[in-house]
Amino acid sequence: MGWFGWRAKEPAGDKAAPPGPQAILEQLARRVPKYVDDADQGKLSYPACKQAIVGPDDVHAVWDHTRLEAVRYLMLLPQREFELLAEPSRQSEMLEAFLRQQPHDDTVIDFTGSTMSDIALAIFAGFNWLSQCAVLTGVEREKFSGTLQHFRKLVVLAQQWWAMDGAGPRCRQLLEQGEKPPLMFYLVWTDYTRLAKEVAAAALGRAIERAAPSDRDVLVQAMSRLQGADDPDGLRLRDHH
């Protein structure tokens, strides 16, 4: 895992660094409430995995919106406690609390008032939502089997990383270089992205099966682009080139 390396990469020339975790969280704090409002008003398909796919933009929407649906639980934390996900000084405490928390199967949760426990509850709820979307779209079972066990292993590795001497300065260096230290936010966001992509791929696969021959080529090309993308925004950039 690149997260757990000791050394930051050299700067990549004039290439702009990707937005840091705080910037992504700020964006989510704006996007998620608007998305929920639009869904409540029937302005978009909800859940996103049920959206009809007729072209590449629909694939982007399913992937992007499914991930928003998963992360919304963290955005519901009171008093913007989700910002702790990107706070280096709180990582050890948060990781330990996550490992202590028993998983649950709910997609409707009540917060307890204990910040670290509530963060764990919200993370589990996001995974549970993605699992429900996987069932709805027919994702192959093995692609979602062991999801929480896999994530728990990442958390254990991150806990070991943060326990090493110099973890704080090393984290700052990685962030300055545009890299991703094992902040809880990055662990969650990356896994949600990966699983939401599986949901989008399954939904697209169904669309290809049902498509008329004249429409199938466009969707098959969209599948190829989806398979090569790491993020929904990357998929959109590919579509516009």
**Structure confidence by residue, pLDDT tens digits, 11-22:** 444 556 678 999
> Which one has a higher pLDDT value, 234 or 100?
100
Of the pLDDT bands very low, low, confident and very high (cuts 50, 70, 90), residue 9 is very low
- Quote the CA–CA distance of 224 and 228 in Å, as a whole number: 7
151-167 pLDDT per residue, tens = 999 999 999 999 999 99
In 3D, which of 234, 220, 237 has the Cα closest to residue 53?
Answer: 220
53-112 pLDDT per residue, tens = 999 999 999 999 999 999 999 999 999 999 999 999 999 999 999 999 999 999 999 999
Output the average pLDDT for the chain.
91
- Quote the CA–CA distance of 239 and 52 in Å, as a whole number: 18
Read off the pTM. Answer: 0.92
Residue 7: what pLDDT?
43
